[in-house]
Structures are given as C-alpha cells and as structure tokens.
Amino acid sequence: MAQSVKGMRDLYGSELRAFRLVEDTARAAFARHGYEEIRTPILEYTEVFKRTVGESSDIVNKEMYVFKDRGDREVVMRPENTAAVVRALIEHKLLGSSDPRLLFYIGPMFRYERMQAGRYRQFWQIGAESFGVSTPESEAESLLLLFEILKGLGLTQLKLSLNSVGTPESRPAFYAAFRAFFDAREPEYCEDCHRRIGENPLRVLDCKNDRCQKALEGHPLITDFLDEASKHHHARLKELLAALGIPFEENPRLVRGLDYYTRTAFEVLSSDLGAQSALLGGGRYDGLVKQLGGPDTPAFGWAIGLDRLASVVQQVKGEVGATPPALLVPLGEAAALEAAKLAQAWWDRGLPVQLDTRGLALKKVFASADRLGIKTVLLLGDGELAEGVVTAKHLATGEQTKVPFAEVPTRLSPAKA
C-alpha cells in the first residue's frame, strides 16, 4: 500500500477543521489590523536562506530540502518564509518608501528534522511581518495582533518569553565575555557546541543537551551587553506590554534558531504542548532586507506553528465539529430532476444543502445520514412534488413537518439545519 512521505501527513476531518478555524480567526484579525496577504513560491534559490537564516543554523546545516532542478539550478523547499517574503518585496521594489508595509502569509514549510511528536517535515506557519518601522510601538502592535488571534481561539494559558539579542555592533563584546566563560568549562560542552562557539556563540545558548544547559549556569547575559539604544528599546517594549496587559517573562537564554534577529526576540509557549512547547516565535530583523540586497529597512515579525496551534485548540475546545448541511433526498426520477432544480435555487441563495444523488432505498438513506451526522433530511417524493412541499425530518427527534418549497430557505437557516 502506498504511503505518504515520512514526516508529511494528510490533513482531513477534525484536524483540518481546527486548521481552518485558526486560519479564519487569523485572517479576520489581519484584516482588522490592516495586514495584507502575500504568497510566495514553495521553491526558492538556496541563497535566500543560506546566509540569512545562518550557515551555522540547524535549519541550513541539516534540515533543508535542497536539490538540483532539471536545469541544474540548486533550489530549496522553503524552510521558513520571512527571508522569502523579503526576497519578494525587494524583487518587486515594494520597499524603500516611508510607508510601513504590513503583510501576512499562511502556508507550508519544509524541514528535514528528526521525527518527534508535534514536529513534522512539512508543517504550516501563519506569519505576520511589518516593514519600515523600527519602534517598540510597532512590536507592541504586532504582539497585540498575535494575542488577539490566540485569545480569539480561546487560549489563555500562554507565556511570552522575551529577550533582546542586541545588534551586530553590540554583540562582539558579549561574544568575548561568553567565549571566556565557555573556555573555562570547555570539556563540559558537547561536540556541536565546540563548533558553535567558533561560528556563532549564541547557538550554544540554544543547545538542547542537558549537560550543556547545566554548564551554562551563571553565563554572561546578552542583555548586560546591550548598547544604549537597544537597552532603551527593550525597556520601552516591556513598558508597553505591561501597560497593554500582555504578560511576559524575560529569558536571557532565548536566541531562536535563525541568525537574522536583532534586538527583540521572543517565543510563546503553551503548557498544553508538552516538550514541544514553542507555539510560535519571532522578533526584529533590521538587517535582513539590506542583507538580501534591498534598501535599509527595519522589520519585525513572527510565525505561528499552525500544526501545533491547531492541536492546542483541539485540546482546549475539544474536537472541532463539522456542520453538515441538510440532506435533500428525492424519491424517484421525476423528483430527482425537481430536487436538482430546487437545490440549484437554494444554493444560489446561499442555503447549505447536500443533494442526495444515490437513488437509494429510504432506509439506507437514513442510516447513512445518521453516520454523516446530518440533522435534517428533506424528502421529496411524488406526493410532496404534487403539493409543492418537502417533508423535513429531524433525525434526533423523529419529528416530521411539511415545508412549502418557498419557505425552505427561511425555515432552514444554517443554524437550524
């Protein structure tokens, strides 16, 4: 039997309904805040991610789906979308004016990761990016948008974990102090960390190894090495979040897996997720646009893991149920034609009704309607046809009423069906 590729799964039923609920909630919030959608291709040239996400990052090092296409060009299935969105904005000359540009995207990402619960090789992200504004106020706006989505989905047990990773200018002083600390306890760190300390010391903070985390106790804090402007920025963001009622915790070890962050970096964790607790992450990336060849443009954004958020939504709300429409069942050939005409008119008016075209015996129709969770069956036999009515049967109560054709749309609103 053919199977789906490892780490890639089919979405259907209640899980897909949870996805849709999250997407619809997010789209409504994006519209309220004035964010516009952008869709970029799944495939990009490797350069888009290599330098930006970071040559030393796990994503670039181990996890990218890279291959040569038939024209011998090296392409990658996007492992994240921020760098791709930036590539698109530069390509279409959409940056450079003083107007802010607020964008969102929804789509699949691909990372060849080790398999674990809640971690997939094709997973989905919903992301928001704001370009052209460098203020802490713009970050607060973006975080308000984010929490509006999460609260709209009924999630309240959330923790915003916040850090400032400074700027490329302020980092060397931190690196020097951190390397001295590392050297003093060098044998305690894993092999990967020995590589990381040379390439990008921040990655050592991100190591999942328990021994390394222990050896990090008492490490120099990046927040103690911030330049004055970054310090002020960080303090102002915290002030805004406190005033706006967004609870956060400072986490000086939080660095995120991508290299392009400057100043603010954050994650939102959910206790409902167990070990894979990061529901989403984001931060400021003021250098990325320039790095990819565009005009110097400050930017801030985040990406929600849709698979994980949908799973938390299902835990919090219970299974997201389907609302099947009423089932219109014609009995006999004459009724079948009339039923198609009636359904056509009702669909035109927006009435949700499923047309039964199987020509089954009535008993079988009811049994199948029951299995499908249908609440109301509309029967159209020769008698009904002559009278211009349908017999509406509510399956739960067995109650039966005759409804004239013209009254069906008002009597059978989606809520009643």
Q: Which residues bind ligand AMP (CB under 6 A)?
A: 80, 111, 113, 119-120, 123, 125, 256-257, 278-281, 303, 305, 307-308
| Residue in the block written with tokens 């990967």 | 192
C-beta of 111 vs 393, nearer to ligand AMP: 111
C-beta of 82 vs 354, nearer to ligand AMP: 82
Closest to 292 (Cα-Cα) out of 43, 4, 44? 44
Query: Residue 177 CB, nearest distance to ligand AMP (Å)?
Result: 26
C-beta of 113 vs 338, nearer to ligand AMP: 113
C-beta of 7 vs 324, nearer to ligand AMP: 7
* Contact (Cβ atoms closer than 8 angstroms) between residue 121 and residue 6: yes
User: Which position's Cβ is nearest ligand AMP?
Assistant: 305
Query: Residue 187 CB, nearest distance to ligand AMP (Å)?
Result: 30
Query: Residue 408 CB, nearest distance to ligand AMP (Å)?
Result: 45
Tell me the CA distances in angstroms from 182 to 15, 189, 220, 227, one per residue in order: 45, 8, 10, 23
Query: Residue 314 CB, nearest distance to ligand AMP (Å)?
Result: 15
The number of C-alpha atoms within 13 Å of 119 and in the hemisphere containing its C-beta is: 13
Neighbours of 198 (CB within 10 A): 9
Cα torsion angle, 43, 47, 50, 51, sign: negative
* Contact (Cβ atoms closer than 8 angstroms) between residue 301 and residue 82: yes
Helices vs. strands in the chain: H and E counts, helices first = 16, 16
Query: Residue 254 CB, nearest distance to ligand AMP (Å)?
Result: 11
C-beta of 270 vs 354, nearer to ligand AMP: 270
Query: Residue 146 CB, nearest distance to ligand AMP (Å)?
Result: 12
Q: Tell me if residue 200 falls in helix, strand or coil.
A: coil
Q: How far apart are CA 106 and CA 319, in angstroms?
A: 22
Query: Residue 116 CB, nearest distance to ligand AMP (Å)?
Result: 9
Query: Residue 128 CB, nearest distance to ligand AMP (Å)?
Result: 12
C-beta of 120 vs 346, nearer to ligand AMP: 120
Tell me the CA distances in angstroms from 381 to 40, 246, 337, one per residue in order: 52, 60, 11
Instruction: Please give the structure tokens belonging to residue 6.
Output: 């490892």
For 39-78, b/e burial (b = at least 16 CB within 10 A) is: ebeeebeeebbbbbbbeebbbbeebbbeeeeeeeeebbbb
Residues contacting 42, CB < 8 A, separation 6+: 77, 78, 107, 108, 110
Cα torsion angle, 120, 121, 122, 126, sign: positive
Query: Residue 18 CB, nearest distance to ligand AMP (Å)?
Result: 14
C-beta of 256 vs 393, nearer to ligand AMP: 256
C-beta of 254 vs 417, nearer to ligand AMP: 254
